[in-house]
């Protein structure tokens, strides 16, 4: 099936599939934090966030604002209705930049404010949230978007339930 909007493949703009890296890097580090509960969750998270920011800036530098085509297009055939198809336009790029910068800021905040025993779970939750956000901003498949939207609710509930200080946090969880 040919796309409605013209697309530029990632291989024409970059040496690496940047969109896949931006989605999978935080997810991989979050899984490492959940599985190994190491002594250095903050350092590992900060390293992942800085690398994520580096790849985001690579994406920004290689982006061509003069074309209306979707850029950095990636496709992978999985299950028939759930085929992976990611690409970005200018708005997606802005949201990806904002997400990575805010993700780094939230991780720095958590490092300073939370107790050491809370760091692994908090950092993993932030990384998982970042991964799902970038997936939402890049997907071109409606079913993939719906699945990612549902998955995104899990880390948001964990964040609200575990670290919310508002007396109305239970009310916020029911909304």
Concatenate the DSSP letters of all residues of 56-123 into one string.
HHHHHHH--TT--SEEEEEEE--SGGG-EEEEE-HHHHHHHHHHHHHHHHHHHHHHHHS-GGGHHHHH
- Rounded distance between C-alpha atoms, residue 137 and residue 130, angstroms: 11
Task: Going from the first residue of the chain to its last (175 residues), give the mean pLDDT of each consecutive group of 10, the final group possibly shorter.
Answer: 74 87 96 81 92 96 92 87 90 96 94 84 93 96 93 88 75 68
pLDDT of residue 139: 94
Secondary structure class of 7 (helix, strand, coil) = strand
Secondary structure class of 27 (helix, strand, coil) = helix
Q: 């299950």: which residue's tokens? A: 79
pLDDT of residue 115: 82
pLDDT of residue 47: 94
Q: Give the pTM.
A: 0.88
pLDDT of residue 81: 79
pLDDT of residue 9: 83
pLDDT of residue 12: 83
Q: 């790029």: which residue's tokens? A: 93
pLDDT of residue 1: 56
Q: 């899984």: which residue's tokens? A: 31
Q: Is 31 exposed, middle or buried (0-12, 13-18, 19+ CB in 10 A)?
A: middle
């Amino acid at each position: 099936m040919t796309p409605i909007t013209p697309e530029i493949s990632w291989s024409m703009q970059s040496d690496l599939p940047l969109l896949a890296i931006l989605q999978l890097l935080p997810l991989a580090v979050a899984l490492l934090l959940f599985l190994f509960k190491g002594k250095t969750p903050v350092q590992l998270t900060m390293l992942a966030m800085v690398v994520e920011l580096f790849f985001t800036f690579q994406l920004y530098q290689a982006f061509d604002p003069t074309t209306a085509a979707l850029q950095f297009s990636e496709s992978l055939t999985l299950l028939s209705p759930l085929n992976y198809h990611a690409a970005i336009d200018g708005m997606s790029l802005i949201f990806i930049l904002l997400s990575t910068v805010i993700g780094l800021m939230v991780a720095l905040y958590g490092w300073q404010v939370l107790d050491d025993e809370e760091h692994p779970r908090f950092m993993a939750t932030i990384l998982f949230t970042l991964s799902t956000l970038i997936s939402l901003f890049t997907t071109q498949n409606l079913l993939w978007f719906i699945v990612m939207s549902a998955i995104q609710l899990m880390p948001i509930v964990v964040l609200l339930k575990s670290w919310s200080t508002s007396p109305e946090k239970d009310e916020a969880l029911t909304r």
